[in-house]
Amino acid sequence: MSASGADGAPEFTIKIASTGDAFGVAAGQSMLSVLHENGYAVQHSCTSGLCGTCKVRYLEGEPDHRDMILTDDEKTEYLTTCISRCRSGEIVLDLPPPGEEPIVQAETPLAVVDQDICVACLTCVRACTYGAAAIDSAAIGVGGIVGAATVNRDDCAGCGLCAAACPTGAISMTQFSDGEVIERSGGFAPRPASEPLVVAFACPHCAPAVNAFDGGGKSSGLEVMEMPCTGRIDNLHLMRTFEDGADGVIVTGCEPGRCYHSTGNLNAAKRTERVRGWLDEVGLGGQRLAMVHLPARDGEQPFAEAAGKMVAAVAELGPSPLRKVAPEPGDEPAPEDALLAELGLL
């Protein structure tokens, strides 16, 4: 089957290796829903390519991976059935017959509370739109106070809204931890002074539009950081990205009222505004940071406009003073590098 549906998503066939069953997956259907309709139990959670719970091993065929959770290595063996498609017309899945346990139990991203530093402020309880965070009155928090937050693993969707909102840093994520985000956002290679570094933090629903941007995209120094939700983006992540030398940062979230996690995009808009003020105060310039709300479909043009404005703002402000600049051919070595070279340490 290779026809395309009304939305342009190709139809394809899934085949189950253990039984030989074959099912068509029409445009607008997911592999997960087709498997469930036909009695194949596949665990799932977010159904949005964020958590990886529904991943299944494939044996033949070429998946069109659309999740943001599997690593490149994992993608050579697994696909997420909730959101991924197929490029090859047919894909063979390594699933047991109906009624038997699935072979793969994926790890779901989760929020974890360090109750020793929880002040029971209720911020996470209010931030969580899944009702997963609650105060456990039997737990002991910071300074021996009675009551500390807890997260119900079965209800947690791994969106990270609570972790970004917690004022004490008591909540960490099993994936997209602060350390992981900072390492990735600060790890972009230095580039010549003539090429700006603009980092885009994108939610999964905006990531396709951001990744599709090529009008000056990579050549304009655009680097993309995919996040589970813009609500996961903490002030710390934005400030560290500037500290690590970005000239500009764009946060891309869904339109108000259309956030998959309800209010993540609104939280991100507030944080972005706050950090813009801080950038002004420290003399870096608030114009180096912007948030854009992209429509669910056809987000390429709005993103291209936002990226164009950011590149223009950076061109006007000049490179960030915190910028790490890659040497260009013919450049004099920096004095500290010259000294290290003289000492034979470079």
- Between residues 129 and 220, which has the closer beta carbon with respect to ligand SF4? 129
Q: Least CB distance from residue 61 to ligand SF4, whole Å?
A: 33
Q: Binding of ligand SF4 at residue 132 (CB under 6 A)? A: yes
- Between residues 118 and 199, which has the closer beta carbon with respect to ligand SF4? 118
DSSP letter at 60 equals E
Number of residues counted as binding ligand SF4 (CB under 6 A): 27
Q: Least CB distance from residue 175 to ligand SF4, whole Å?
A: 10
User: What is the rounded distance in angstroms from the CA atom of residue 304 to the CA atom of residue 200?
Assistant: 12
Q: Binding of ligand SF4 at residue 160 (CB under 6 A)? A: yes
The answer to whether residues 241 and 227 touch, using CB atoms and an 8 Å cutoff, is: no
Q: Least CB distance from residue 128 to ligand SF4, whole Å?
A: 3
- Between residues 124 and 307, which has the closer beta carbon with respect to ligand SF4? 124
Place of tokens 């590149």: 311
Q: Binding of ligand SF4 at residue 259 (CB under 6 A)? A: no
Please select the residue that binds ligand SF4; options are 106, 171, 206, 222, rule is CB under 6 A: 171
Q: Binding of ligand SF4 at residue 151 (CB under 6 A)? A: yes
Amino acid in the structure at residue 87: R
Q: Binding of ligand SF4 at residue 161 (CB under 6 A)? A: yes
Burial class (CB in 10 A: 0-12, 13-18, 19+), 307: buried
Would you tell me how many other CB atoms lie within 10 Å of the CB of residue 14? Answer: 24
Q: Which stretch binds ligand SF4 (CB under 6 A): 17-25, 99-107, 168-176, 323-331?
A: 168-176
DSSP letter at 261 equals T
DSSP letter at 315 equals H
- Between residues 67 and 247, which has the closer beta carbon with respect to ligand SF4? 67
First-to-final CA distance of the chain:
58
* H or E, element range at 265: helix 264-281
Q: Which stretch binds ligand SF4 (CB under 6 A): 6-14, 110-118, 194-202, 295-303?
A: 110-118
Q: Least CB distance from residue 143 to ligand SF4, whole Å?
A: 12
Q: Least CB distance from residue 130 to ligand SF4, whole Å?
A: 4
Site for ligand SF4 in 41-70 (CB under 6 A): none
Please select the residue that binds ligand SF4; options are 127, 239, 289, 313, rule is CB under 6 A: 127
DSSP letter at 338 equals H
β partners of residue 290: 250
* H or E, element range at 191: none
User: What is the rounded distance in angstroms from the CA atom of residue 252 to the CA atom of residue 259?
Assistant: 11
Q: Binding of ligand SF4 at residue 181 (CB under 6 A)? A: no
User: What is the rounded distance in angstroms from the CA atom of residue 301 to the CA atom of residue 213?
Assistant: 9
Residues 6+ apart with CB under 8 A from 136: 115, 147, 148, 149, 150
Q: Binding of ligand SF4 at residue 133 (CB under 6 A)? A: yes
Site for ligand SF4 in 262-321 (CB under 6 A): none
- Between residues 41 and 125, which has the closer beta carbon with respect to ligand SF4? 125
Tokens read off for 314 = 């950076």
Which residues would be at the binding site for ligand SF4 (CB under 6 A)? 111, 113, 118-124, 127-128, 130, 132-133, 149, 151, 156-162, 166, 168, 170-171
